[in-house]
Amino acid sequence: MILQYVKHKIEKINKMYNTVHMNKTMYDDVDMINVLEDANVKRELEDLHTKYVIVNADKASNNIIVICKRYYLDCMRNELGLNENTKEKNKTYEHVTDSTKDDIIQIHKRYMDTNNIQIPDKWTQLPKLYHIPKMHKTPPKQRYIAASNKCTTKPLSNMITKCLKLILLQHRKYCTTMHNRTGVNAMWITDNSKNVLNTIDKLNDTNKAKDVYTYDFSTLYTMIPHDDLKEQMKWIMDIAFFNKSKKYIYVSSYNATWYKRKNTIRITKEQLIEYIDYLIDNIYFTVGDNVFRQKIGIPMGTDCAPYLANLYLYALECKYLKKLMKDDIHTARRLSLSYRFIDDLLMFNTNGING
């Protein structure tokens, strides 16, 4: 009935605008009517915005969700631990009261200037936190995202992202060598379904499929301790920069490489670790006029967040497998058909092993 009512209204409006005589007196000699300039439309949109928030659905961005504004704000306050009825304050976020938004922006600008990192004028702002509904959950939950496409840390995060792509590639080579020597696969990270589908086809063709297990992190991005994240990233860098021929990463406007090219920024291992530490320590965002700092985890929306999360989990997995190889290499080998896409894990033929 709702769809029929909406369809009827659309047809009625179309008919009205198609049959109205366009004359100079009424429409200033225009050929078309700008619907968004229509007084009735403006009034209805303003009324809609006072009561509702319109967002995309999580994992289905072409679907639009209309949310009660009061409920939307209550979810935001609950996440930040600001509701009076919240039994326990959220330790993930810290309400910043000793510095203003402008103070933090100036600190970021000075750091970027010191390191010759340019911030466009339009990016001199902090990320804004918002959330979108996870309609595939029962009951629906929220995914909180820091809109970081234009903020003071965006250039630094973008540079780190390029470097981490190169670092991940280096670790893939490292794990391939280890796999060839020991039969243990420590690189579970996959960025597409091709390898997974090939493994499934191979298991089916050889009739060797025994079992399959799937795992998921209920929360990942907001649960990673900063100190541990820094420690694991340092281990990641130590392995990647181990080869003497790989002392510097050269970053261009497109990507990062180990070999020198023109118009590139040269970054050492120590500098990259410092940049990552600085970014982790300076995760600020705004909600209205309030400023918050994320003390645990990394916000979705930051360019390098998926790479930091991926490499953090990889470091734990690789260390675990190396230790397991010393105690029980056969069990370590049974975990070789494992694939992880950020926080989703798929494992074949493990006989239920879940170390």
Strand partners, 257: 250
**Quick check: is 134 in a domain?**
no
- Of 90, 114, 131, which one is at a domain's C-terminal end? 90
- Are residue 33 and residue 168 in the same domain, yes or no? no
- Are residue 86 and residue 173 in the same domain, yes or no? no
**Quick check: is 274 in a domain?**
yes
Q: Are 83 and 77 in contact (CB under 8 A)?
A: yes
Of residues 4, 2, 13, 7, the one with CA closest to residue 44? 13
Give the domain range for residue 301.
154-348
pLDDT score, position 87: 53
Q: What is the CA radius of gyration of the chain?
A: 26
- Of 73, 90, 107, which one is at a domain's C-terminal end? 90
For helices 226-240 and 154-182, angle between their N-to-C axes, nearest 10 degrees: 60
**Quick check: is 116 in a domain?**
no
Tell me the average confidence (pLDDT) per consecutive run of 10 residues in the chain, 355 residues long.
92 74 48 76 92 92 92 92 68 92 96 94 94 91 92 96 96 95 95 90 90 87 93 96 88 92 91 97 94 93 94 96 94 94 91 67
When divided into structural domains, the chain yields a total of 2
pLDDT score, position 25: 46
- Of 90, 123, 139, which one is at a domain's C-terminal end? 90
pLDDT score, position 22: 45
pLDDT score, position 30: 52
pLDDT score, position 318: 96
**Quick check: is 248 in a domain?**
yes
Q: Which residues contact 158 (CB under 8 A, 6 or more apart)?
A: 303, 304
